[in-house]
Structures are given as structure tokens and as C-alpha cells.
Amino acid sequence: MLLGPLAVGVLLTLIYDRIEQDAGEQRRLHSEVSLAQGRLAASERRAGTIEERERVSREIHDTVTQGLASSLLLLEAADRSWPGATSRQDLNQATELLRRSLSETRSVVHELSSPGLDASPLSEALHQAATQYVPNTRLLVTGEPRAVSAEVRHTLLRVVQSAAANIQRHHNHPDAGFPSGLRHP
């Protein structure tokens, strides 16, 4: 009889110690999970930053760099034909391309600082992107609108902007971007 309560007391003490150990282990595991979540979030932020830098790099390459390269070709052609009649035309084209490149650079910087096209519905954003270059653009949407990822949305907007800019460039100047002697088909 005497040993019964003592055995129950020892058993309860062992159970309590085990519960205490399990609670400590649970706290340690929770701490490790929290630390891993913090590392994962930091890694995702770094990946997002790298992805955004790559996107900006592509954007600058697709707009500004091409305009500057065309301007350089025109200036080199003008230099070779100086003081010929075509040199003045090449200089004028280069000047116009440089102005457009400057404008596109400002647009890229503006888009980076305040991406207005990302806030509106996709159809409106596409229409707005096109009318920046071709004012009388009309957009016809068929089917039911559906959600697209941010990456797809951004790509669609840039494709429309690029296409509209090309339409404006080639509509206003059929040989814009090509030095004299080098005409597009």
C-alpha cells in the first residue's frame, strides 16, 4: 500500500518530464520552421529582384538600345557620305530616332516608377498601351475575359506597345531606322 502512491508519484513525474521534453522539442522545431520561413521569404525577394532586373534589361534592350543602334548606323552613314545629299537625310533620321529613344527611355523609367498600366483591366491596359503610339486605335475583345498571370500580362502589354511603336515609326517614316542605301522590304 505504501509503494502504490509512491509508484504513481514516480510515474506522474516521469510523464511530466516527458511532456516537458516534448514541449521543448516542439518549441525548438517551431523556431527552426520560423527561421526557414524567413530564409525562404528572403530568397523569394532576391529571386523577384533578379527577375525584375532581367525584365528591365530586356525592356531597355528592346526599346532604347535598338533606337540608339539605328541612330549610330545613320550617323556613320552620314559621316561616310558627307557632304553628300543623303547625309542630311541620314542626320535627320538619326535625330528623330534619338528623340524617340529618349522618349522611350523616359517611358521605361516612368513605367518603372509608376506602372499605371498594371492597375486597370487587361483590355483597357492593352488599349491604352496602343493609343500611346497610335491614337486612333480600336480594340475588339471577343470571348469572356479571364485572369492571366502578371508575367503574361506584362508581356502582352510590351508586345502591344512595341507593335504600336513600330506601326507609328513605319507609318510616319517608311524607311525610319534604316540608313540610306539600306531599305526594308
29 within some domain: no
Phi and psi, residue 24, nearest 5°: -65, -40
Chosen domain end from 114, 140, 161: 114
Chosen domain end from 77, 95, 114: 114
Q: Could you tell me if 97 and 124 lie in one domain?
A: no
Query: What percentage of residues in the chain have a pLDDT greater than 70?
Result: 85
pLDDT tens, 2-26? 788 888 888 999 999 999 999 999 9
Buried b / exposed e over 66-102, threshold 16 CB at 10 Å, is bbbebbebbbebbeebeeeeebebbbebbebbbebbe
| Radius of gyration, CA atoms only, the chain | 32
pLDDT tens, 140-185? 989 888 888 877 887 788 788 888 888 887 776 545 444 444 333 3
The domain in which residue 134 lies consists of 120-173
The cell for 172 is 510616319
Q: Could you tell me if 109 and 127 lie in one domain?
A: no
180 within some domain: no
